[in-house]
A and B are shown apart, each in its own frame.
Chain A
Amino acid sequence: MSRKELLSKIGLRQDGRRAEELRRIRCKLGVFTQPDGSAYLEQGLTKVLAAVYGPHQVRGGRSKAQHDAAILNCQFSMAVFSTGDRKKRPRGDRKSTEISIHLRQALLAAVKVELYPWSQIDVFVEVLHADGGVFSACVNAATLALIDAGIPLKEYICACTASLANNNVAMVDISNQEEIIGGPVLTVVALPMSAKIVHMEMFQRFHLDHLPKVLNLALQGCKDIKVILDEAVRNHVEDIGSTTGWSNTTTKQ
Chain B
Amino acid sequence: MTKPLICVPGQRLCILDKIHESGQGTYERQGYIYSSLAGIVDVVDKEGVKVVEVRSTGEQTLVPTQGDIVTAQVTILTQDFCKCVIKCIGNTVLSRTYRGMLRREDVCATDKDHVQIYKSYRPGDVILARVVSFSEFSFSKGNALTINSYQ
Q: Does A152 contact B37, Cβ atoms closer than 8 Å? A: yes
Q: Does B89 contact A153, Cβ atoms closer than 8 Å? A: no
Nearest Cβ in chain A — how far from B126, in angstroms?
19
Q: Does B27 contact A154, Cβ atoms closer than 8 Å? A: yes
Over the window 6-48 of chain B, the binary record of Cβ atoms lying under 8 Å from chain A Cβ atoms (1 yes, 0 no) is 1011100000000000001101010000101111100000000
Q: Does A117 contact B10, Cβ atoms closer than 8 Å? A: no
Output the residue of B57, B63, B96 with the most chain A CB within 10 A: B57
Inter-chain contacts of B57 with A (CB < 8 A): 237, 240-241, 244, 246, 248-249
Determine, out of A10-18, A49-57, A165-173, the stretch whose residues face the partner at the interface.
Answer: A49-57
Over the window 105-118 of chain A, the binary record of Cβ atoms lying under 8 Å from chain B Cβ atoms (1 yes, 0 no) is 00000101000111
Nearest Cβ in chain A — how far from B52, in angstroms?
14
Q: Does B63 contact A55, Cβ atoms closer than 8 Å? A: yes
Task: Using CB atoms, name the residue of chain A closest to B134.
Answer: A118
Inter-chain contacts of A119 with B (CB < 8 A): 63
Residues of chain A from 201 to 242 with CB closer than 8 A to chain B in the complex: 230, 233-234, 236-238, 240-241
Q: Does A112 contact B36, Cβ atoms closer than 8 Å? A: yes
Nearest Cβ in chain B — how far from A191, in angstroms?
8
Q: Does A230 contact B8, Cβ atoms closer than 8 Å? A: yes
Over the window 135-159 of chain A, the binary record of Cβ atoms lying under 8 Å from chain B Cβ atoms (1 yes, 0 no) is 0000000000001111011111000
Q: Does A65 contact B136, Cβ atoms closer than 8 Å? A: yes
Q: What separation, in Å, do the CA atoms of A116 and B89 have in the docked complex?
A: 15
Task: Using CB atoms, name the residue of chain B closest to A57.
Answer: B98
Q: Does B34 contact A154, Cβ atoms closer than 8 Å? A: yes
Task: Using CB atoms, name the residue of chain B closest to A238.
Answer: B6
Nearest Cβ in chain B — how far from A41, in angstroms?
16
**A147-B8, A234-B8 are contacts. A56–B40 as well, Cβ < 8 Å?**
no
Known: A57-B98, A150-B60, A194-B10. 10 other contacts (CB 8 A): A30-B58, A67-B134, A67-B136, A119-B63, A148-B58, A154-B36, A236-B38, A237-B38, A248-B59, A252-B92
**Can you list 13 A-B contacts (CB < 8 A)?**
A63-B136, A147-B9, A147-B38, A148-B58, A150-B38, A150-B60, A152-B37, A154-B27, A154-B36, A233-B38, A236-B38, A252-B90, A252-B92
Residues of B bordering A, CB below 8 Å: 1, 4, 6, 8-10, 24-25, 27, 29, 34, 36-40, 55-63, 89-92, 96, 98-99, 134, 136-138
